[in-house]
Amino acid sequence: MNPTSPARLPYCQSLTRTIRRRTREVRVGGVGVGGDNPLRIQSMTTTDTKDVAATVAQSIALAEAGCEIVRVTAPNVTAARCLRDIRRELDRQGIQVPLVADIHFLPAAAMEAVEHVEKIRVNPGNYADRKKFAIREYSDAQYKEELQRLHDSFSPLVKRCKELGRSMRVGTNHGSLSDRVMNRYGDTPLGMVESALEFLRIAESHGYRDIILSMKASNPKVMIQAYRLLVARMDQEGMDYPLHLGVTEAGDGEDGRIKSAIGIGSLLADGLGDTIRVSLTEDPVHEIPVAQALAAKAQSWWTHNPDPGDDAGDALLRNHWTDPHTFARRQISPFLLGGDCPVATDQPPRVIVRADTAQVLKPEFLQNFAKTARGLKDNPIEGLLLDIAGEADWHQAAALARSPDCPVKAVVCSLPRGRFLLGESPPTGAARAASLLALCVFTAEESGDLNDFLHDCRRAEVTPVVAADPLKDLPALADVLTNAFHQGQSVVFTLARPVAGCHGLGSYRLLTAFLQSRDLPAPVWIRHNAAFAGDRHAAPSFLELLLDASVLAGSLLCDGTGDLISIEEESDPARAARLAYNLLQGAGARISKTEFVACPSCGRTLFDLQSTTQRIRARTGHLKGVKIAIMGCIVNGPGEMADADFGYVGGAPGRINLYVGKECVEYHIPAGEADQRLVDLIKKHGKWLEPEEAETAESIS
């Protein structure tokens, strides 16, 4: 039997507006999840569960920070018994926050834990299922036998949950699919979904439906695809279970927040999600403000986007948008953003920053800006966006682009209209240090102006950038644009503001769908500016800017859309460039530095994850393009390292296992030796550069 993924099944009511998916309500103690309840905030303790006092203290700190559901690991029966005392002490102190027991491998631990807490989380990949990375072909009869064994092992927990009124999360992790599922479905979103559905069917056979589902992965692309596919499959089978959203092993700092915002925010914008957890390799209290900010955004989207029924935008997207369950980069016709900086399908998205035009065009400022731009080895500014107010600005910007001292690959001039090109064209013939792009907004009534704009761009050797509403304006401009494209003229498309009635994500989806419908493989520039930020009454905090940009640009990149990107609300060009590169890396679209996959720590962790991650980052952070996984224990270790180059995994107290991909190559290394042994392993596989060599290689590139 070869299962086929339902590639084009719908997974949400609208791709342009946020319409919340209707789900059943599941009670977790006194907290309702799904239904008409608000998004619920979760986190997890990092203490040893057997240390009751420490776990109670951290649970209280989380509850006081705004965490509504607290998860505690129960790796064995002894730890599961401690949940009774933890629950009693919280009750004694008047802390009614529901507790969730996190179960891996041991049904006996689950059967103990269910007596004491409000919810049980089981992982289908390692609850009463085999996980040995064994390669074996299962016949249909053998597969059925395994399912019966699973039914027999899981049913007692289901029955007890039903008797006690406990809820359950069936939480699939990309990194811990069982061998049986891996051999039949592969290490895929489809395998994740089928693994969860097997458990759902067992639960439903006993009339039990107090279940919440999750599809977590450290790769936001995989996570997004898995949740979409899960919803499509549930719709097929008439299921309406709530969703718990999260990106697992997201890491720490800015990178961890970006990854989480890309995965969680993309799904929230599509109306999916009932409870969320932001997983950071930090004190779990730090997860709560990030989760609250994401939840507040989603609640505002839901409030302002009632369901008005189908419209032309959704009809266009049904026929011409990407396959939502698989990743493929959108195919485009290439052009050069500077002589050695191509924009093409097989090239990473390029980074543009906005700068103050009046300041940049001053010679003394330009010298400082050039120094800043050239000092950004890992985050180079490839394009500079300037707002042009008059003809003098236009000619100064053109002169800058042709200057041998130009610090960027391209100068992009945002014009109030193309009249500066329609007059005297910029000087030509000089050796060009950077390309020149002209951005102009057009409406349906301005096809003649657009034609003149494109003509003068060709004459002046300028790349045109066209911004127009894909529903209201582009259809009337399409013939002019198609003719220019077929004549070999490169045209870049972008948006100046969201389409009326649509969120920013949906607006760019409409733009790409329109281009697909007219067979225009033109590059798309994703701009995050104030117009895409929604209703704000004050300048955004950096966290707010990070979250908004990640939801917009990161989600599009995970669907294969986006050839240029700019974060325009950040006034510091260097900081804007860094954020753009971190966002590209979080979406897996461009690797500009070492990537660390690090779990958020819990009571199973066998070493201090925060200090270890920082220590390894200090030793290896200069290795551009190398992916290193740092895992506290064996539960998610080998699996979540599916696409990592090297892994550093807790094997036993004071002992570390080292991996290359999924293969453990060194066992039970003393913790004091493990950092150097990891460096030696990287050297052995030819991926090590000394810090000074890495800096030289970067400057040459």
DSSP string, 658-695: EEETTEEEEEEEEHHHHHHHHHHHHHHTT----HHHHH
pLDDT, tens digit (0-9, with 9 covering 90-100), for 452-490 = 999 988 888 899 999 999 999 999 999 999 999 989 999
User: Cβ contacts of residue 211 below 8 Å, gap of 6+?
Assistant: 26, 167, 168, 169, 170, 200, 203, 241
CA-CA-CA-CA dihedral for 556, 558, 559, 560, to nearest 10: 90
Domains of the chain: 26-312 (3.20.20.20), 349-586 (3.20.20.80), 595-700 (3.30.413.10)
Cα 182 from Cα 184, distance rounded (Å): 6
Look at residue 510 in the predicted model and tell me its pLDDT: 96
Cα 698 from Cα 696, distance rounded (Å): 5
The residue type found at 203 is A
Higher pLDDT, 309 or 198: 198
Cα 280 from Cα 383, distance rounded (Å): 32
Q: What is the DSSP letter of 626?
A: -
How would you classify the pairing of strands 40-44 and 26-28? unpaired
Beta strand extents in 529-571 (DSSP E only): 564-567
**pTM of the shown model:** 0.88
Does 228 score more than 90 pLDDT? yes
Contact yes or no for 396/323 (Cβ under 8 A):
no
Distances (CA, A) of 434 to 156, 401, 437, 496: 68, 5, 10, 24
In angstroms, the first-to-last Cα distance of the chain is: 49
Contact yes or no for 353/576 (Cβ under 8 A):
yes
Distances (CA, A) of 670 to 179, 425, 636, 676: 30, 69, 21, 11
Sheet holding 99-105, edge to edge: 211-216, 167-173, 119-127, 99-105, 69-73, 40-44, 275-276, 244-245
Look at residue 282 in the predicted model and tell me its pLDDT: 87
Look at residue 636 in the predicted model and tell me its pLDDT: 55
Look at residue 698 in the predicted model and tell me its pLDDT: 42
Tokens of 116: 């004491």
Does 131 score more than 80 pLDDT? no
Cα 261 from Cα 252, distance rounded (Å): 13
Does 6 score more than 60 pLDDT? no
Cα 461 from Cα 425, distance rounded (Å): 9
Mean pLDDT over residues 129-140, rounded? 64
Tokens of 533: 């930020």
Q: Cα 145 to the chain's mean position, in Å?
A: 38
Grouping H, G, I as helix, E, B as strand and the rest as coil, residue 385 is: strand
Mean pLDDT over residues 534-545, rounded? 78
Cα angle for residues 158, 114, 59 (degrees, 5° grid): 135
Three-class HEC string of 54-82: HHHHHHHHHHHHCCCEEEEECCCHHHHHH
User: Cβ contacts of residue 673 below 8 Å, gap of 6+?
Assistant: none
By mean pLDDT, which of 11-25, 512-526, 590-604 is the weakest?
Answer: 590-604
Cα 168 from Cα 114, distance rounded (Å): 10
Mean pLDDT over residues 62-72, rounded? 97
Q: For residue 521, which phi and psi values (nearest 5 degrees)?
A: -80, 55
Look at residue 357 in the predicted model and tell me its pLDDT: 84
Tokens of 445: 């009534």
Cα 361 from Cα 388, distance rounded (Å): 11
Beta partners for 385? 354, 412
Grouping H, G, I as helix, E, B as strand and the rest as coil, residue 21 is: coil
Cα 260 from Cα 144, distance rounded (Å): 37
Cα 195 from Cα 639, distance rounded (Å): 15
Contact yes or no for 603/672 (Cβ under 8 A):
no
Distances (CA, A) of 308 to 193, 304, 585: 31, 11, 36
Look at residue 512 in the predicted model and tell me its pLDDT: 96
Cα 294 from Cα 276, distance rounded (Å): 9
How confident is residue 218, by pLDDT bands cut at 50, 70 and 90? confident
Look at residue 92 in the predicted model and tell me its pLDDT: 96
Does 68 score more than 60 pLDDT? yes
User: Cβ contacts of residue 324 below 8 Å, gap of 6+?
Assistant: 8, 11, 225, 228, 559
Contact yes or no for 641/597 (Cβ under 8 A):
yes
pLDDT, tens digit (0-9, with 9 covering 90-100), for 420-461 = 665 555 555 455 678 999 999 999 999 999 999 999 888 888
The closest alpha carbon to 643, from 181, 217, 193, 135, belongs to 217
Contact yes or no for 242/213 (Cβ under 8 A):
yes
Q: What is the DSSP letter of 643?
A: T
Cα 471 from Cα 513, distance rounded (Å): 10
Does 259 score more than 70 pLDDT? yes
Residue 359 belongs to what H/E stretch? Answer: helix 357-360
Cα angle for residues 100, 101, 104 (degrees, 5° grid): 135
User: Cβ contacts of residue 466 below 8 Å, gap of 6+?
Assistant: 440, 442, 450, 477, 481, 491, 492, 493, 494
Most confident of 90-99, 387-396, 533-542: 90-99
Beta strand extents in 133-210 (DSSP E only): 167-173
Mean pLDDT over residues 169-194, rounded? 84
Look at residue 7 in the predicted model and tell me its pLDDT: 40
Tokens of 102: 């996190």
Contact yes or no for 230/196 (Cβ under 8 A):
yes
Quote the mean pLDDT of the chain.
86
How would you classify the pairing of strands 663-670 and 655-660? antiparallel
